[in-house]
Amino acid sequence: MSRYRGPRFKKIRRLGALPGLTSKRPKSGSDLKSQLRSGKRSQYRIRLEEKQKLRFHYGLTERQLLRYVHIAGKAKGSTGQVLLQLLEMRLDNILFRLGMASTIPAARQLVNHRHVLVNGRIVDIPSYRCKPQDIISTKDNQRSKALIQNNISSSPQEEVPKHLTLDSIENKGLVNQIIDSKWIGLKINELLVVEYYSRQT
């Protein structure tokens, strides 16, 4: 299944706010109406919606998300927590969290177009897994700097998560540590996502 390229507002009306997909938010009444129309939701549907929420927020294909679930399942610790940490440490997500891009798809485009450096080297793979002490910066040309600077200045002045540090003057970001789950700004029950996949196999 390929990456979703359809209307974004349709997804947030159904699943709720997905800041990584779009900065738009559903009207407070629209969620209630859709729930009233749908009646009682089955356990399968609840698990499916949580999985879809995760997938659309991070902009993943079905195959990519399944691969992350398998990696998280083999790691030490809670599979759900490890899964969220893996997704949060992706380069496209780090750019979004730093405010260097307005959404995760916009961050992916910056990376694909080779505007972003990690530790002084161009990285053009959005799924690149960042590590603590990685320095995220822009390519040393006017266009790259202007793109990132515009994004930083126009992004809402939300607090940068504690696992990251932003130097808005130098257009640089630093990964301090692996993210703590309480800093993940998405209302999601990751255990239901793991459960969804465990019941598929």
Q: Are residues 98 and 172 in the same domain?
A: yes
**Residue 134 CB neighbour total at 10 angstroms:** 18
User: What is the pTM assigned to this prediction?
Assistant: 0.81
Least confident of 81-90, 117-126, 145-154: 145-154
CA distance 93 to 105: 9
152 near 171, Cβ under 8 Å?
yes
CA distance 164 to 177: 7
95 near 148, Cβ under 8 Å?
no
**Residue 49 CB neighbour total at 10 angstroms:** 17
pLDDT class for 140, splitting at 50, 70, 90?
confident
**Average pLDDT, integer, range 124-130:** 95
Residue 33: its pLDDT value, please?
Answer: 43
CA distance 161 to 158: 9
Q: Are residues 81 and 37 in the same domain?
A: yes
Domain of residue 39: give its range.
Answer: 8-86+187-200
Structure-block tokens of residue 48: 């499916």
Q: What is the CATH classification number for the domain harbouring 49?
A: 1.10.1050.10
Geometric angle at alpha carbon 31, from 155 and 65, rounded to 5°: 65
Helix axes 62-74, 190-200, angle to 10 degrees: 100
Structure-block tokens of residue 116: 């972003």
Q: Are residues 60 and 125 in the same domain?
A: no
Q: Are residues 113 and 34 in the same domain?
A: no
